[in-house]
Amino acid sequence: MKIEKDTRIYIAGCGGMLGDIVYHRFSNVATVKATDIDLNSDWLSYADVRDYQQMEKSISDFKPDIIMNLAALTDMEYCELNQEEAWLTNALGAENIALIASGLNAVCVYISTAGIFSGEKEFFNDFDTPNPLSYYAKSKYCGELSTKQYAPRHYVIRAGWMMGGGIIKDKKFVNKIYKQIAAGQQTLNIVDDKLGTPTYTKDFADGIFKLLESDLYGVYNQTCKGSCSRLDVAAEFLRLLGLDKTIAINKVTSDFFRKEYFAPRPRSEKLVSLKLDARGLNVMRDWQICLAEYSQEFIKDLQAQANLPFRHVGSK
């Protein structure tokens, strides 16, 4: 499918850290309708993936060629405590979108997660069998299954440790670290026993575009090149900010955070983008290159707070 200005793309759950970059990537080249239950940008309109009738009207009125489902509850502890809500958003919501896409003969894009694997080995390719541990992961895996079952023309795209969205919309690890830095923390407690593959939202959006134009439907792992631990990411982020000599890292195990982060997590969430590589469709860059680019947003904020002129800091 050639994506052009008259290509109609409906994006559900577009108010989050991935939705922000996906909207701006596609709205420049196609006709986009973006919806969410959190109307945090003026280009969003309201629609709830849990409500089939509401979604069917919102989508059908737009007559899309492509429907992207970015809607998800991603807070793992919240999902453990609110299991029904997790099922309704991550599983039923995906089923609703897939059924609507099927009825309209639209392409359906579903964003999944590396968390669907149990971590019993170090690396997982596109064909490995998921074994989700948490309610978040279980509900997301059901979303995968529904998308594959009900939407004949589908892309299920699995992300790793997401980074992007900046200070306002990033709810993940990098911004959590930055918030501690901005609050004046001089020592960061970082786990070294969780492994994964970072995933930069900018590259991820470019990858969705590449896949859509390929017409090669199916399930794809799509993460940055390279893999690391949480400790590696934190250490590199501090270096890029120029703070590696002034802020210390205290290496801990996951037990240190067992009260705050009680949802079961796999030891390794490292994804291998086997199919993208084999088909020449992989646009994802190395995670360190992406983190260096992303870090510039936080460097700007640090320098604004200190009333310093902006400059590139810490890149290799």
At 155-189, the pLDDT tens digits run 999 999 999 999 999 999 999 999 999 999 999 99
At 11-70, the pLDDT tens digits run 999 999 999 999 999 999 999 999 999 999 999 999 999 999 999 999 999 999 999 999
DSSP 8-state symbol, 309: -
Pick one of 3.90.180.10, 3.40.50.300, 3.40.190.10, 3.40.50.720 as the CATH number of 8-167+197-227+268-286: 3.40.50.720
Provide the token pair at 242.
Answer: 């120029």
Q: How distant, in Å, are the alpha carbons of 126, 209, 265 from that of 220?
A: 6, 13, 21
At 228-273, the pLDDT tens digits run 999 999 999 999 999 999 999 999 999 999 999 999 999 999 999 9
Res 314 pLDDT > 80: no
How many helices (H) and strands (E) in the chain? 12, 15
Helix (H, G, I), strand (E, B) or coil at 56: helix
Provide the token pair at 291.
Answer: 């983190």
For residue 176, give every residue at least 6 positions away whose Cβ sits within 8 Å of its Cβ, in sequence order, or none.
none
Res 103 pLDDT > 70: yes
Domain map (residue ranges) of the chain: 8-167+197-227+268-286
Q: How far is CA 127 from the centre of its chain?
A: 20
Res 303 pLDDT > 90: no
Measure the CA angle with vertex 233, ends 231 and 235; round to 5°.
65
Q: What is the pLDDT of residue 307?
A: 60
Per-residue pLDDT band at 217 (split at 50, 70, 90): very high
**Percent of the chain at pLDDT exceeding 70:** 97
Asked if 32 contacts 9 with a C-beta cutoff of 8 angstroms, the reply is: yes
Query: Could you give the CA distance from residue 8 to residue 1 in angstroms, rounded to a whole number?
Result: 12
Helix (H, G, I), strand (E, B) or coil at 49: coil
Asked if 22 contacts 70 with a C-beta cutoff of 8 angstroms, the reply is: yes
